[in-house]
C-alpha cells in the first residue's frame, strides 16, 4: 500500500464532502459483492449512516449469493432514479465509472474503482487503480490508513468482495489484495461467509433447465442460449454459471427477455487475455448498459432498441443474432491476442 497516496486521497475526499451534505452512493446494475462492500466502507470512511448516505442501483441484486449477502449483512440498496440522484449534494460511485450508465446519470462527484477501459470523466474526486484486483482492496486501505475501526460486519463484506472479484485470490490478485485480505481475515464472521457461499436455488431454475438444455451445443468453445421470457434475471445469471461447468466450454452467453429489456449474461474462465467486460462493451455499449469483469459481464438493452437495430424480437432470431455477434467478437479477440 502506498500509504502517503492513500492518506492524501482521504484528505481530498473528506474535504469534498461537507458535514451537512446529502450523499448518494451509486452502484452498477445488479451490484456485486465488491461494489456492495465498497459502498458501506465508503459510508464508514465518511462517518455517515444509511439515512444521510443511502446506496442506490438502477437495477436490483439478482444473484442468489449476492442477495444472501445483502440479507445477512443488512445492506440496503434503493432503486435509483435520475432525478432523485440529481437532487443529492454529492453523488459517489464505487466499483464503476460514469460512462457505464450511458446517460442515466447527470453527474458524479466521487469515483473509486479498479476497472480499466472507461472513457475519462470530470468527477471532482477520482481514485481509479486498475492494477488492483478489487475495489474492496482500495477501500480497506482507506480504512486502515484513516485508522477507522472495521467492524465484523464490514470486514466480512470486504473480505467477500475481494474473494469474489479475485476468484478466491486466483485471478488478477496483487500484493495489495493479499495484504488487505490478511488484514480483514481475523475480523470476519466465517459462519456468515459459509452461508453466503451456499445460497438456495429457486425451483423454477429446474424448469428452465429442462426447457432449454435440449438446445445446448458448444461451438468452438462457445455455448449460447436464449431463454425467452423470464420472470427474474437471476435465472439468466444462474444458467450462465451452470453452463460454464460443462466440458469444452470456454465462453457462455445466456440471454432472456425481462420486462422491457433484453438481459445478456456472459461468463468465461478468466484465463489468458479473454475479457468478458470488454466484449460486451464493444458489442452493446452504445445500445444500453454493458460492462463487467474479465470472467463475467452483463448487458441490458431495451427491447425497443434491439428491435430498431435487428427488426425482430423473435426468440430464435435473437439467439441466432447473438451467436453471430459473440462468435465474431470472441474469435476476433482471440486472433488479436495470438
Question: Can you give the CATH number for the domain in which 102 is found?
Answer: 3.90.1640.10
Shared domain for 138 and 254, answered yes or no, is: no
Over its C-alpha atoms, the chain yields an Rg (Å, rounded) of 20
For the cut 90, the answer to whether the pLDDT of residue 211 exceeds it is no
Residue 11: which of 101, 142, 161, 134 has the closest Cα?
142
Where does a domain end: 197, 227, 248?
Answer: 197
Q: What is the pLDDT of residue 200?
A: 67
Give pLDDT tens digits for 271-326.
Answer: 777 789 999 999 999 999 898 888 889 999 999 999 999 999 999 999 999 999 99
For the cut 90, the answer to whether the pLDDT of residue 201 exceeds it is no
Give pLDDT tens digits for 75-112.
Answer: 999 999 999 999 999 999 999 999 999 889 999 999 99
pLDDT tier, 338 (very low <50, low <70, confident <90, very high otherwise): very low
Query: Which residue do the cell numbers 451452470 mark?
Result: 242
The more confident residue out of 24 and 337 is 24
From residue 137, alpha-carbon distances to 77, 95, 296 in Å are 21, 11, 19
For the cut 80, the answer to whether the pLDDT of residue 170 exceeds it is no
Indicate the pairing of strand 78-79 with strand 55-57.
Answer: parallel
Indicate the pairing of strand 261-268 with strand 251-258.
Answer: antiparallel
Shared domain for 78 and 172, answered yes or no, is: yes
Where does a domain end: 153, 174, 197?
Answer: 197
- Cell numbers representing residue 51 in the block: 439515512
From residue 74, alpha-carbon distances to 143, 188, 196 in Å are 20, 15, 13
Q: What is the pLDDT of residue 333?
A: 62
Shared domain for 188 and 214, answered yes or no, is: no
List all residues 6 or more positions away from 106 whose beta carbon is below 8 Å from its beta carbon: 82, 85, 86
Task: Say which CATH number the domain at 314 has.
Answer: 3.10.310.30
Shared domain for 127 and 268, answered yes or no, is: no
Half-sphere exposure for 135 (CA within 13 Å, toward CB): 29
Where does a domain end: 197, 217, 235?
Answer: 197
Shared domain for 73 and 188, answered yes or no, is: yes
Indicate the pairing of strand 222-229 with strand 251-258.
Answer: parallel
Verdict on whether the full-model pTM lies above 0.75: no
Shared domain for 59 and 168, answered yes or no, is: yes
- Cell numbers representing residue 68 in the block: 444472501
Shared domain for 138 and 226, answered yes or no, is: no
Q: What is the pLDDT of residue 335?
A: 55
Range of the domain at 210: 204-337
From residue 329, alpha-carbon distances to 102, 291, 297, 309, 313 in Å are 22, 15, 14, 18, 22
Mean pLDDT for the chain? Answer: 91
Shared domain for 160 and 63, answered yes or no, is: yes
Q: How far is it, in rounded angstroms, from Cα 235 to Cα 257?
A: 11
Number of domains in the chain: 2
Shared domain for 309 and 241, answered yes or no, is: yes
Q: How far is it, in rounded angstroms, from Cα 269 to Cα 263?
A: 21
Percentage of residues of the chain with pLDDT beyond 90? 73
Shared domain for 65 and 192, answered yes or no, is: yes
Q: What is the pLDDT of residue 237?
A: 85
Q: What is the pLDDT of residue 334?
A: 56
Shared domain for 17 and 42, answered yes or no, is: yes
Q: What is the pLDDT of residue 154?
A: 98
Shared domain for 39 and 182, answered yes or no, is: yes
Give pLDDT tens digits for 235-278.
Answer: 888 889 889 999 999 999 999 999 999 999 999 987 777 789 99
Amino acid at each position: 500500500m502506498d500509504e502517503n497516496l492513500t492518506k492524501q486521497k482521504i484528505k481530498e475526499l473528506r474535504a469534498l464532502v461537507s458535514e451537512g451534505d446529502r450523499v448518494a452512493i451509486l452502484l452498477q446494475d445488479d451490484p456485486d459483492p465488491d461494489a456492495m462492500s465498497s459502498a458501506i466502507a465508503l459510508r464508514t470512511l465518511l462517518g455517515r449512516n444509511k439515512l444521510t448516505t443511502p446506496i442506490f442501483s438502477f437495477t436490483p441484486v439478482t444473484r442468489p449469493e449476492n442477495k444472501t449477502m445483502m440479507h445477512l449483512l443488512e445492506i440496503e440498496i434503493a432503486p435509483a432514479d435520475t432525478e432523485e440522484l440529481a437532487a443529492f449534494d454529492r453523488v459517489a460511485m464505487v466499483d464503476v465509472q460514469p460512462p457505464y450508465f450511458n446517460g442515466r446519470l447527470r453527474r458524479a462527484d466521487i469515483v473509486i474503482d479498479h476497472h480499466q477501459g472507461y472513457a475519462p470523466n470530470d468527477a471532482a474526486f477520482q481514485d481509479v487503480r486498475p492494477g488492483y484486483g478489487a475495489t474492496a482492496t482500495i477501500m480497506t486501505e482507506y480504512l486502515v490508513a484513516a485508522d477507522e475501526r472495521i467492524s465484523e460486519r464490514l470486514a466480512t463484506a470486504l473480505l467477500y468482495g475481494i474473494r469474489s472479484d479475485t476468484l478466491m485470490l486466483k485471478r488478477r490478485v496483487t500484493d495489495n489484495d493479499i495484504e488487505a485480505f490478511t488484514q480483514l481475515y481475523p475480523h470476519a464472521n466465517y459462519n456468515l461467509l459459509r452461508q453466503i457461499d451456499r445460497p438456495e436455488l429457486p425451483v423454477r431454475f429446474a424448469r428452465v433447465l429442462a426447457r432449454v438444455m435440449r438446445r445446448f451445443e458448444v461451438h468452438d468453445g462457445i455455448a449460447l442460449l436464449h431463454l425467452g421470457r423470464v420472470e427474474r434475471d437471476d435465472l439468466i445469471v444462474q444458467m450462465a454459471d451452470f453452463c460454464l461447468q460443462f466440458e469444452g466450454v470456454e465462453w457462455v452467453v445466456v440471454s432472456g427477455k425481462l420486462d422491457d429489456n433484453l438481459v445478456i449474461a456472459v461468463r468465461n474462465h478468466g484465463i489468458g487475455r479473454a475479457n468478458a467486460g470488454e466484449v460486451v462493451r464493444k458489442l452493446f455499449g452504445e445500445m444500453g448498459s454493458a460492462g463487467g469483469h474479465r470472467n463475467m459481464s452483463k448487458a441490458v438493452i431495451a427491447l425497443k432498441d434491439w428491435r430498431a437495430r435487428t427488426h425482430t424480437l423473435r426468440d430464435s432470431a435473437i439467439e441466432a443474432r447473438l451467436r453471430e455477434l459473440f462468435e465474431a467478437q470472441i474469435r476476433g479477440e482471440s486472433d488479436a491476442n495470438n
